[in-house]
Amino acid sequence: MIKNCIVCEQPIHPKRLEILPKTKTCVECSSSEKKAGVTVMQGTGDHTYVETIIMEASEYRKYMEAEHKVTQLFESDPDMKSDIATNEDGVDESLDANGFHEIDAIDE
């Protein structure tokens, strides 16, 4: 079955239709960005695991900018790492639900 893109009216690739049967646009006209992933180590001691966080490319750029700023802060003041608040189990309580520190350092 050939289906045309609602934007450019060109045929949508059959593999795209196979994967996304309800799609109405071709790849070129799609509004979705590329995805990016960040691996994050969770847990402590013998109970550590690696999780992959998938995000839009624009979110990834912001994440990398914030990570770069934090890295610069740690490099300028090595004692800052010991200032991160942890509870009696050694768990960092300043993390959000996704395991990220809330960072207000992003300037747009």
67-107 tens-digit pLDDT: 999 888 888 876 665 555 455 555 545 555 555 555 444 44
Identify whether 8 is part of a domain: no
Q: Which domain holds residue 60?
A: 55-108
* Strand, coil or helix: 55: strand
Identify whether 63 is part of a domain: yes
* Selection from 20, 2, 22, 18 nearest residue 10 by Cα: 2
Identify whether 29 is part of a domain: no
Identify whether 107 is part of a domain: yes
Mean pLDDT over residues 39-49, rounded? 90
Task: Read off the tokens for 75.
Answer: 């490099």
Task: Read off the tokens for 22.
Answer: 């309800």
* Structural domains in the chain (count): 1
Q: Where are the alpha helices (DSSP H) in the chain?
A: 14-19, 57-76
Please report the pLDDT score of residue 9 as a whole number.
94
Please report the pLDDT score of residue 95 as a whole number.
54
Q: What confidence category does residue 108 fall into, taking pLDDT thresholds of 50, 70 and 90?
A: very low
What percentage of the chain has pLDDT greater than the value 90? 34
